[in-house]
Amino acid sequence: MDTETLLSLHQSLYSCFRKYNITLQAVTSDESITISGRNRVKMVGYLRPSTEAQAVEMMMGRNKPKLELRHHPVIELRKQQEGVVLELVLPPQAWWDQQNLLGKISLERHYHEFYQLIGQLPPHFKIGFWEGTHLDEAHLTAGQLLHPQLFKQWLATFNCGQDWLRIGVWYDHHHQITEELARHAQQLERIYHFIAWKSANDFRTFYNRALRYA
């Protein structure tokens, strides 16, 4: 896929966002957040509005005018050989949101809500903790994680501040998939808002409490 095709796909997808009331902002970059250092894989990232992003970065101790994508959950639309990837990525540098997620799922009600969100994904969605633009062989699928015990064991291996959390779909083509992409983006957005810290979704105190009693 060339860059022009990717951007055209983004424009079509972003117009669908209004239909689904998705309010994430779009940022175009030559660097995927899924790998350290400069990585020339053209992508469009979708993340929280600028005001929310700046507020989170300030709470993380950063006070720079330019947002750093790696400090936020990001839904990436990026080129992949002949196809395209749509993936929700929670980098280790987004530790504020990682702590928020772990604090939230320490409560039984929200743990089951997260399990249900994963269970509502198409069974072929790829999920794991790897880094890089290529699909890791050790990934699991949403279908496999329907098993409650496997889901519990999988979550228990997540290392906050070190691991990547990645949930996405890998297409081997890009023709006539805009509506399908939009549906998948809507599903990933629900998980995005489950994870992302904001004043009405603040569970970091539960994370810190769990650390004290660990």
Domains for the chain: give ranges and CATH numbers: 3-212 (3.30.930)
Q: How far is CA 173 from CA 15, 33, 42, 178, in A?
A: 20, 22, 16, 12
| Mean pLDDT for the stretch of residues 44-51 | 95
Considering the chain, what is the average pLDDT of its residues? 91
What does the alpha-carbon distance between residue 74 and residue 46 come to, in Å, rounded to a whole number? Answer: 6
Instruction: Determine what percent of the chain is predicted with pLDDT higher than 70.
Output: 95
The verdict on pTM exceeding 0.85 is yes
More confident residue, 83 or 158: 158
Please, are residues 75 and 48 in contact by the beta-carbon 8 Å criterion?
no
Extended beta strands in 16-66, E state: 25-31, 40-47
What does the alpha-carbon distance between residue 140 and residue 76 come to, in Å, rounded to a whole number? Answer: 19
Does residue 39 have a pLDDT over 70? no
Q: Integer distance in angstroms from the first to the last C-alpha of the chain? A: 48
**pLDDT at residue 141, rounded to an integer:** 97
Confidence of residue 80 (pLDDT cuts 50, 70, 90): confident
Instruction: Determine what percent of the chain is predicted with pLDDT higher than 90.
Output: 72
| Mean pLDDT for the stretch of residues 100-127 | 97
Q: DSSP letter for 66, please.
A: S
Does residue 214 have a pLDDT over 60? no
